[in-house]
Every structure is written in C-alpha cells, then in structure tokens.
Amino acid sequence: MAAPLFLLSPEIFCQIFSLLPPHGVFGVSLTCRFLLEVAKTNLGRHKELAQKHKVVYLGYSVEMDGLLSPIVYLDMIESNPNMAFYPRVVQMLEYSHDQSDGEGSADEGDMFEGRDRERGIMENRKGFRESVEACPYLTEGEDLKWKTAISENGDDDAALALLLSMLPNLKEIVIWIHYRPLPYTSQMVSRIAQATRLNPERTTALSKLQSFRLGQRGDTDADNLRFFLPFMELPSVWHIAGWRIKQEGRMNEDEDTEPIMSVTYPNIKMIDFEQSNVDERAMQELLSMTNHLSTFAYEVDGNMPYGVAFAPDVMVDALLQYSAHFLEELQLVVQPDWAIVEPWRFIMSLRLFQKLRTVEVDAEFLCQRDDDDDDLPDDMGSLVESMPETLETLALRYLRLDQIDVLFDGFGEKRQQRLKSLSKVILLHPDHGNRNAHLIVERVRKVCEDGCVELEVFDERGGFPFYDAIMKIGLIEKPMLCENYPTNWD
C-alpha cells in the first residue's frame, strides 16, 4: 500500500515545493524517484530563474536596459522569497539619481519615473519596515534610522545594504561610486562580518562572497580606500579589486572617521588596483593588514587630476615585510602616461621574495638612477642581482635601448646560477616612442639566446598602446567578471 504522502495530488506537491528554496527542492528530489519526478517542474523553474538572475544589475542609467533599483529588487524578494537565493553577482552600476550628478546619470524624466515607482512600492510594503525589524544584523535602536532612510528618503545606500543582508549565495559584488562611499552598506557588511566571526558555523548573508570590486566614476577628490575594509573582514573574501582608487595620506588621518584597528586578514590573497593613485603610506597600511597575499597588481594612473607620490620601492618593502613567504605574482606598472606622477626615488629589488614566479614591471623601476644618492650600488639594477631565484616569467614594459646594459648585465654568465627557474622574458611595448624599437628586440633576443631563455615580444612597432590592449596582454590572471564565473563555483 502506498504511503499516505504519495496519495496527494501532483498539484498539491507543486504548491508545497513552490514554497521551498531551491536547495530545499533539490534535497527533497533526492529522497525517492516519485518525488524526483514531481519536483522536476519546480527544479526546472528554479534553474531558469537562477540563470536569469545570476547577475543582478542595480542602479539608474539611460544607457543600459535591465537596471533595477535596490528598492525594486527588495520588492521582488518580498513577493517571492526564493529570489534571494538566485543572485551570484550584484553590480551597483550607478549611484541613485538623488546622489548622482555627473557622467552616466539619468535624465530628469527617468529619475521621477523611477522614483514614482519606488514610492508606490514603499507604500505597499510600508517602507520595508518589517524587513528592517527582522534584519538580524541591526540593533533595536538602529532600525528607526534605517526605516527613515529607506521609507522616507528612498536612500539607495540603505536599500542596497538591506538587500545584501538577504542574499546568502553572492560570489561577487561590484559597486561604482561617484562622490562618497556608502555608509549604510559599509556598516551592514561590517556587522555581517562580525556575526560570521562570532558564530562561524551559522549560515549568514555574504557567507560565500569571494570578490569585491570598487570603481570610481567621474573625477573626485574623495578618498575611497577605506571602503574596502568592511569587505576584507568577511572570511570568505579573498580578492579585492579597484578602478581609479584614490587615497591621499593615511587612512587614519580623517578626523571624521573612526581610527583603523591594527588587524590582519589572512583570507585576502589577491589585491588588484587599476588606474589608481594611492598614497604610499595608505598602501603600507593596507598591505600591513594582509600577511598571506599571493598576488599584488597595481597600476598607477598618471592621468588622474591630482598628484600622489608614487614610490614602488615602498610598496615592495611593505610586501616584503608582510607577504615575502607567500607572494607569487607581482604587477607594478604605470598607465601609459606618467606626466603627473611624481618621479620614484629608488630602485626595486625583488631578490628576497621566496615564492615569486611572475613579475610584470616597468623597466624604469629596475634601473632608474638617482644622481643625488651615492649609496646605491652600481649593479643594483641588473636582473640577476634584483630578481628572485624562483622567477619563471618576467615581463618588462617600455624597455629602452639605454636600459638594456643595466638590466641584462651578466645575464648570460650568471642566469643559470642566479635565475635558474627563469624560462621566459616578455617585452611589452618596447620603447613605444622610438621608431628603432626593433633594435631593442634584436639585442634582447641575442641576450636571451645566450642565457637559454625564451623571448616573446608584443607591439614591436613601438606604437603607443591603448589601455585596453595593454590590460589584455597583462600577465596576471585575474578572476573573471560576472557571467563568466566558472560553473564549479556555483
């Protein structure tokens, strides 16, 4: 005789399964063949929705379709709680219209149309007050502040923070800001990290987050390096990336913010900043918080409308102090226009790194001379003296003819003893302003042949490279964005 459970009609099962989250339906389908057949319809629907909402684009823009405000997506979750389980990536592509006033902002008509829709949602949902009260990461005294921010002010920052607290399966967050970091989002992420540390066994929001990316849209003098700190606190996050990140002076010098505690985040394995200008002291602070860094990629932007002293030797010293036993990949370059960047003073030596396999640097950093400093030894710039024994691949950007003798001094004779693991040298855009760049290639090729090392060359014509082309050629393999996530991460 069939069990009473199996006497229920398929329609009732479908109604029951519709109330279950995706992993709940999947678990039930594994119990027996009968429930597997009944659950197939729901599993197919969950799979379709999961693919559709794998990447959620939030914000306002007249240039892109498919953008939702955080308030609209909160409404979708209120209507169907399963919507919280689908997103793997959230991109906040625009500040809200009441905070955005520059490049990419929506026009006035679109702003009011979006705001009218939000007003209707907030009236129906009573300002999401129940969601705020149910949020486990807020205290009773704080919920009034958040209710006011969302229901009365329509603050996208507070709505985004509340939304993130409901998404347990996120792998990546990408936020583009205009003028200031998001205080509500920072506070919420910090609270979630604190709850995770206090109870590691408990499933919390953002417990699967691996990557956080921050981008700066438009020109601004606002410092934004501190915004990474709450995300670094999350134990699952191993990668932070930034575009046009700016920081003048130390992060602790801002009187309006709390001082940064001396803590370390061994979970951070990769830091990747592009077209950025970060003060050397602030970078020291950031690197002091990581003691297991395996990849560090930094591109200084000489086009930004302010000058921050760029000292690659200071960054290398900080990496040596905190991650000398772990660093495997290093990219330290200048975006191809350094008219504003202040000159560096010293020469880098990477000899003391114990696991460094891949290096991509401007040739200038390895052989620049300071005529006023007599303490620098003459052979400081040679590769056999300044590169670690573990080096396998070396990429030199913008190598000039006059730098070859310095860098490759003793290369043929000492390479087997000093750089026995080196198998490839790559020239990226050799002397891009010189029509005789082929002479550089010929000389380096002869040196590499004598040292039994493979040579690979990009842009032998010496044409001035575009930024996009350079980043595609970059050696450091960076995590894929959004839709291109490896399927096994899901």
Mean pLDDT, 10 residues at a time, the chain of 490 residues: 67 74 73 74 74 80 63 88 87 58 39 62 82 86 81 81 92 82 88 88 85 79 84 94 84 56 85 87 90 90 60 86 92 65 58 92 72 46 87 89 87 87 89 74 91 82 36 43 34
Residue 391 within any structural domain of the chain = yes
Question: Is there a domain that residue 434 lies in?
Answer: yes
414 part of a folded domain: yes
Output DSSP code: residue 175: E
Could you list the beta-strand ranges (E) of 259-392: 270-278, 295-300, 329-334, 358-362
Buried b (16+ CB within 10 A) or exposed e, 175-194: bbbbbebbebbbbbbbbbbe
Q: Looking at the domain assignment, is residue 236 inside a domain?
A: no
Confidence (pTM): 0.80
Is residue 67 one of the residues assigned to a domain?
no
CA distance 409 to 381: 9
Q: Tell me the residue range of the domain where 44 lies.
A: 4-48
pLDDT at position 65, please? 56
pLDDT of residue 294: 93
Residue 388 lies in a domain: yes
Whether residue 387 lies inside any domain: the answer is yes
Query: Does residue 9 fall inside a structural domain?
Result: yes
Taking the CA atoms of residue 435, residue 340, residue 293 and residue 482 in that order, the dihedral angle to the nearest 10 degrees is -80
Show the tokens assigned to 83.
């919507």
Instruction: Report pLDDT for 490.
Output: 32
Q: Which of 48, 65, 82 is the last residue of a domain?
A: 48
Using DSSP's 3-state secondary structure scheme, residue 401 falls into: helix
Q: What's the Cα-to-Cα distance from 347 to each of 70, 122, 186, 337, rounded to whole Å?
A: 48, 58, 38, 20
Angle formed at CA 286 by CA 283 and CA 292, multiple of 5 degrees = 120
CA distance 71 to 119: 10
Amino acid at 164: L
Burial 283-321 (b: 16+ CB within 10 A, else e): bbbbbebbbbbbbbbbbbbbebeeebebbbbbbbbbbbe
**Three-class DSSP category at 232:** helix
Element (H, E) at 428: strand 424-428
**Total number of domains constituting the chain:** 2
